[in-house]
Structure 1
Amino acid sequence: MTPGDRRPWLPVALLLLQVPGCWCLSGPTSVTGTVGGFLSVQCQYEEKFREIVKYWCKSPCLGDIVKIEKSDKEVRSGRVSIRDHPANFTFTVTLENLTEGDAGTYRCGIDTSWLPGYMIDLTFRVVVSVTPDISPA
């Protein structure tokens, strides 16, 4: 870098590209639904997590956690359902009968806390927005 160079972050960013990382869980960063409607979120995971518990929760994930422990089975809790699709390494969360109170930050998660080498669960943040229903009456 030369004096006055306005890119001091570039060497750090390049260094981070050299560090092996884990992109173990991915999905949409935001989704939008309409009041009274539904929305679905598909979270993708790596094959090595096929048999591991997956979950969905509203941040900070202190309660109302919906978990799925068996592959190819759907679990429902109130207006939320979660289904694992191990054949394509995804799980789908569906929120039904949306209310404005459903808006917020959620987490797709994999319960890795008991696996060697993992200090915390793997999670992916999803921002849920809920818009008013403006369809004609």
Structure 2
Amino acid sequence: MTPRDGRPWLPVALLLLQVPGCWCLSGPTSVTGTVGGSLSVQCQYEEKFREMVKYWCKSPCVWSTVKTKEADLEESNGRVSIRDHPANLTFTVTMENLTEGDAGTYWCGIVTSWLPGYFLDPTFLVVVSVTPVPSSVRPTRTPGLHRILPAPTWSTMTPKESPNPSQYPGPSPESHPVEDQASKREERSLLGSVHFLLLIFLKVPLFLIMLSAVLWVNRPQ
């Protein structure tokens, strides 16, 4: 074989066709998001691709994950959406509610042929990384414990002051039923003492005088 027949260059040409990626399409080489969060990728294309369909797929790109249908109209497929912006020659891909399984290699692509996948389409490779949520952000909960009581302080451990009776209005001591009964018992006890004294110093002498008078009158003649 000689270089003039062009055959030695055929494998090289086929290899270039199979290598994905195109200078006519650009974007970020890698993006990072967190689990439960979202991320966006913006791909830039040339003027000649303004009216063509754009897509986003995960390697090996057997079929597109999501693709555009009309300009400035968002199309979504589950948690992934895409929107073409012909005014500035870009299209944006958004991934929401990220999981660790979303990490991998993706492609921004433009449909230019009837062949499946990205065999002849202009594509650009983007590596997506998904990191777990930092442990300091995650809420800590103890199973079976709904509320954590605060640690006791000196103010909570000191005995409570007894309430001042003057601060709480209530019935006066004279109107208290128990005190009324006690005063009545004292009055009865005092009356009993007076009656006993009268019996000793007044009634008993009078009785003795009357008894002596009766005996004096009825004495034998």
Contact 2:40 2:93 in 1 (8 A): yes
Supply the distance in 2 between the matched residues of 1:40 and 1:65 (Cα, whole angstroms).
15
Supply the distance in 1 between the matched residues of 2:97 and 2:47 (Cα, whole angstroms).
32
Supply the distance in 2 between the matched residues of 1:103 and 1:28 (Cα, whole angstroms).
15
Q: CA deviation at 1:65?
A: 2.3
User: Could you state the TM-score of these two structures normalised by the residue count of structure 1?
Assistant: 0.78
Q: Deviations over 1:24-81 (max 9, x none)?
A: 1000000000000000000000011010000000011113521102111000000000
1:58 to 2:54 alignment: no
Q: Deviations over 1:87-107 (max 9, x none)?
A: 000000000000000000000
Contact 1:52 1:69 in 2 (8 A): no
Q: Deviations over 1:14-33 (max 9, x none)?
A: xxxxxxxx621000000000
User: Stretches of 4+ moved more than 2 A in 1?
Assistant: none
1:39 to 2:39 alignment: yes
Contact 2:66 2:82 in 1 (8 A): yes
- Please identify which structure carries the higher helix content: 2
The amino acid that maps onto 2:26 is S
Contact 1:42 1:92 in 2 (8 A): yes
Size of the aligned set, in residue pairs, is 112
Note the residue ranges of structure 1 that are not aligned, 5 or more in a row. 1-21
The amino acid that maps onto 1:96 is E
- Alignment partner of 2:113: what SS? coil
Identity of aligned residues (%): 76
User: Could you state the TM-score of these two structures normalised by the residue count of structure 2?
Assistant: 0.49
Q: Deviations over 1:94-131 (max 9, x none)?
A: 000000000000000000115xxxx7101000000000
Map residues 1-137 of structure 1 onto 2, 5 A cutoff. 23-114=23-114, 120-134=120-134, 135-137=137-139
The amino acid that maps onto 2:23 is W
- Alignment partner of 1:82: what SS? strand
Supply the distance in 2 between the matched residues of 1:76 and 1:107 (Cα, whole angstroms).
16
- Alignment partner of 1:48: what SS? helix
- Choose 1 or 2 for highest CA Rg: 2
Structure with more contact order per residue of length (Cα contacts < 8 Å, sep ≥ 6): 1
- Alignment partner of 2:101: what SS? helix
